[in-house]
Amino acid sequence: MVRFTVSTIALACAMLGATAVSAQSKPTVAEADAYVAEAEKTLAADGVDAARIAWVNATYITDDTDALAAKSGAKSTDLAVKYALGRRQFGNPGAGEELLLDYGLHQRRLFPLIARTYALHFAQEVL
């Protein structure tokens, strides 16, 4: 009987929550700008801390600094996923993602330079 009551209450809360979510209006440009500003502020502060921890880890390679670097990396990943998922509320549903980086183009530009570097390196070893 208790299980049925708890299940009924949980179902009612879920239905009320779904109604409240569907009743929300579409986010405005000002809300999107505020979201981006907050994300940039948070990620910039985290980036400074992550860079300091990475420097300490590279300078003093110990189990403790490895643990700090791992924890910092997990926090940075968590923030990136949080803001990436939150950003979707400001986009057009069904619209494709905007291409920010064309990897194929960059690979074609960088490959000759990398190949030349390897060629010069091996030529220097032989000569």
Looking at per-residue pLDDT, the higher value among 102 and 119 belongs to: 119
- Domain range for 26 is 2-93+101-126
Enter the tokens of residue 109: 């530009």
Cβ–Cβ under 8 Å, residues 52 and 30: no
- What's the pLDDT band for 52 if we cut at 50, 70, 90? very high
> How many Cβ atoms from other residues are within 10 Å of residue 40's Cβ?
11
- 75: burial class by Cβ within 10 Å (0-12, 13-18, 19+)? middle
CB 90 within 8 A of CB 32: yes
Q: Is the pLDDT of residue 24 over 50?
A: yes
- Mean pLDDT (the chain) is 77
Task: Note the pTM of the prediction, 2 decimals.
Answer: 0.52
| 31, 89 contact by CB (below 8 A) | no
Structurally, the chain folds into a number of domains equal to: 1
